[in-house]
Structures are given as C-alpha cells and as structure tokens.
Amino acid sequence: MTFAPRGACPSLATPMETGDGFLARLVLNTPIALDDFIGLCEAARTHGNGTIEVTARGSFQIRGLSADSAPRLADAVAALDIEIGDGVPVIVDPLLDDPAALIHANALAARLRRAIAEADLNLSPKVSIVVDGGGRTDLDALAADIRLRAIPTGEDVRLELSLAGDADSAVPIATISTDEATGKVLALLKRIAARGGEARAKDVLAEFTEQPIQRTRSSKSPRACVIGRHPLTGGAVAFGLGLAFGHAEAEALVALAEIAEAHSAHWVRPAPDRALLLGPFAGANAMAVRREAGRLGFVTEASDPRRRIVACPGAPSCAQGLIKARALAAEIAEQVSFAGDGVALHISGCAKGCAYSKPAPLTLVGTEQGCGLVKNGTARDKPMRYADPADLIAELDAVAAKTREPVHA
C-alpha cells in the first residue's frame, strides 16, 4: 500500500496522513445494501477511530487509520459488495429511481466510467465530472472539470456540456445528445491529458471561447434539498438526512442502518452536501426513521441551524488545525441562529480552508494569534480581528450588529 502526500486525493488504496492518523476516502458509484454499510461501519471502528465523514461531494471518509491498519481496512472493504470508483470521479444524481429525472443519469455515468477506464488517460487525480440528470435534487454547488446537465428542449432532452466550474461559473461549450456524451467527454479528457498530468479543464478553456454558448436556464420549479422525503418510481420514497458538520460515529451509523432495515429499507447512499439517502420506504416508515434519526443526532430538517455552518475537523484531528473547529461549530449552533439560507458561517482550523473554498458571510479561522474573524471572505483572507475561542459568542454578537447575518438566539 502507498500513502498519498498532503494535498493529494486520498483513496482506500492510498490513504493520507492527518492529525488523527491516516484518512481513506471512498467514492461510491452506486447505493450499497444496508448489511454492507453496517460492515463498512464496523470496519471503520475496528481499523480506524470509528469516525466516518460524508464530504461535500458525497464521498465517505474513514479516519484514524494507522500504517498497519489501513491495508486491513482495504481488505475488509474488498470483502463487501460495494462498488467503489477508483478512476476519474463521475458524480451523479444520488436518487437512482427519481421519477422527475429527465434522463437515466446513473446509467450514463456508468458508461462514462467504463469508457474512461478503457482509455487509460494520464489525468490529474483532481479531474472530475458531474452528470446532472435534471431530477429532484441538483448538483449545482459542485465544481467539476466537465459538467453534463440534462435540459428539456421541446419534445427532446439534450445535455448542456460545460467546463471548469459549478452550475453558475462553468463555461458552456455545446449542447449535445445523450448518445454523443461519451465521445464528447472522452475527447475533452484527451485534450486535458495532452497538456500534462497536472492539467485541468481550465487549461483548455481558451480553445472553446471563440464562440461562447449561452447557458440554458431551466424552466422547472426549484429543486429539492437532499434533506427530507423524495418520491421514487413505483410509489415508495427515499429519505435524506445530514451528518452534523459532515461526520458521525460508526455506532450511530450502525444504529441508523438497523432502524432503516427494520422499517423495510434496503440501501443507503452518500450524497452531496454531507448527506445520506436511505430507502425505499413506505411513507409512514420514512417518518418513523426520521424521528429515530433525529434522536441519534442526525440532521433531519432542512432548516436545522447546523446546516448553516461548515466546519472542518480542526484540532486535534488535523495536524494543521489550530482550533477545535467542529466542537466550536456545535457550541455556536446551539446558541446562535442565522437568518436566510445557505452557508452563514465557515469555521476552519487553519488558513487552508479545506471544508469551504468560497467566501462566507463570516469565517472563523484558527491562527497563531487566536481565532481570526473574516467578514465576507475565505479562510485565506486576513482577519479583521482576533478572539479567544471562549469569547466567540460575544464576538459573533458584535459582528451581528454590523452584518445582520448571525443573530443571537
């Protein structure tokens, strides 16, 4: 087994060292059976420290591995029936049987993965693809090198092909049919690979900007948050819930899986925005699981204040962390409410800002001078002032008077 250097993309085969040991990331291509999920959680508890994360892009991370236990975790996972992506990540609609979807995005993603694997291209491990089938939940917030988004065009459905960004910032370059998608994506990946093993889609953008394509705006109603009930084909429903600040202990996840299984669910799938989808359920069963999940500490309401805060692990889990980011996040969520929607507060253990790269209304960042406060910026920006973590609630109230964003509950 090899180990990924800091800043690289960790995987099951190449874990990365962090403050609490090695970290392994699992990109799942399909939902997994609840029994296999329980096996995964038990492996994380046996070979790691039992902390499991779901990332903003919908991958599992297992923390607290050692150089000796990481290979044993890989062996344990290999014995489970889990389809793990080991090539270019192709992120796709998490709802497999979404009746609102315009195309079968998961099937298209599977074809792309096979074609990319056969092409054997020399690509940066950070290159990624998003396939948005236009269904109930969206992938708008996820940045990717290549984006495919299903759009209705009269009686037909086409794919908007865009490069280098999220739904708002990516540059549209063509509108294509689903039959063309595999060939077009492969051609783009070959162009990227031709520029070297560290190249990204932004490096080939100039080749497509002479005749810019206008972005197609969807006429569909606003799409749903992943947290909550989602209808599935055939009348059943899936239920989405969040992991508070992106992490949970294996024991709680095992308990959740057992509750879902007792209410006739078969599968679980990690989803973007640090969430899990479980199903299929009858409607009443989904509500029963929702109540039990809330008791276990999971996020079951889209309005939960914990969803307004993004926090990295911080100290001591990360060697770079200078503050206990997640502990602070939990304390603040209990004492401060936030007006509006979206991320209101980013808490970063250091100036790298791994958990959230975009500007936030307020960012708390660990520094040698204390906890830095950044208004309308990122963890990399210079703080406007510093505070002791013990005084943060008062500092947040002071900032609230000027920003009107955090409001003391």
What lies within 8 Å, CB to CB, of 179 at 6+ separation is none
Q: Please give the pLDDT value at position 394.
A: 74
Q: Which residues contact 110 (CB under 8 A, 6 or more apart)?
A: 29
The whole-angstrom separation of Cα 120 and Cα 103 is 27
Along the chain (409 residues), what's the average pLDDT of each consecutive run of 10 residues? 67 90 95 98 97 95 96 97 94 94 96 96 95 94 96 90 95 95 98 95 85 57 86 95 96 98 97 96 92 97 92 87 91 81 90 89 91 93 86 68 44
Smallest Cα–Cα separation from 183: which of 116, 90, 131?
A: 116
pLDDT of residue 3: 65
Every domain of the chain with CATH number 3.30.413.10 lies at: 95-207, 306-408
Q: Who's near 156: CB < 8 A, 6+ residues apart?
A: none
Q: Are 98 and 232 in contact (CB under 8 A)?
A: yes
Question: What is the CA angle 27-143-223, rounded to 5?
Answer: 90
Residues 6+ away with beta carbon under 8 Å from 231 = 99, 100, 136, 237
Q: Which helix (H) or strand (E) holds 385?
A: strand 385-387
Helix H or strand E encompassing 295: helix 283-295
- Strand, coil or helix: what is 266? coil
Rounded to whole angstroms, the Cα distance separating 389 from 395 reads 9
The CATH label, of 3.30.413.10, 3.40.50.920, 3.40.50.2300, 2.102.10.10, for the domain at 306-408 is: 3.30.413.10
On whether the CB atoms of residues 131 and 105 are closer than 8 A, the answer is yes
User: In terms of Cα–Cα distance, which of 364, 382, 29 is closest to 373?
Assistant: 364
3-state SS, one letter per residue, for 58-101: CCEEEEEECCCHHHHHHHHHHCCCCCEECCCCEEECCCCCCCCC
What CATH class has 16-87+226-302? alpha beta
Write down the pLDDT at residue 18: 87
> In angstroms, rounded to a whole number, what is the distance separating the alpha carbons of residues 266 and 254?
14
Query: Which phi-psi region, left, alpha or beta, contains residue 264 (left: φ > 0; alpha: ψ -120 to 50)?
Result: left
Give me the amino acid identity at 253. L
Using alpha carbons only, what angle is made at residue 107 by residues 103 and 108, rounded to the nearest 5 degrees? 70
The single-letter code of the amino acid at 209 is T
95-207 folds as Sulfite Reductase Hemoprotein; domain 1 (3.30.413)
Q: What is the value of pTM for the model shown?
A: 0.89
Predicted confidence at residue 391, as pLDDT, reads 76
Q: What is the DSSP string of 150-169?
A: EEEETTEEEEEEEEEESTTT
pLDDT recorded at residue 7: 56
pLDDT the model gives residue 336: 79
Q: What's the confidence (pLDDT) of residue 408?
A: 39
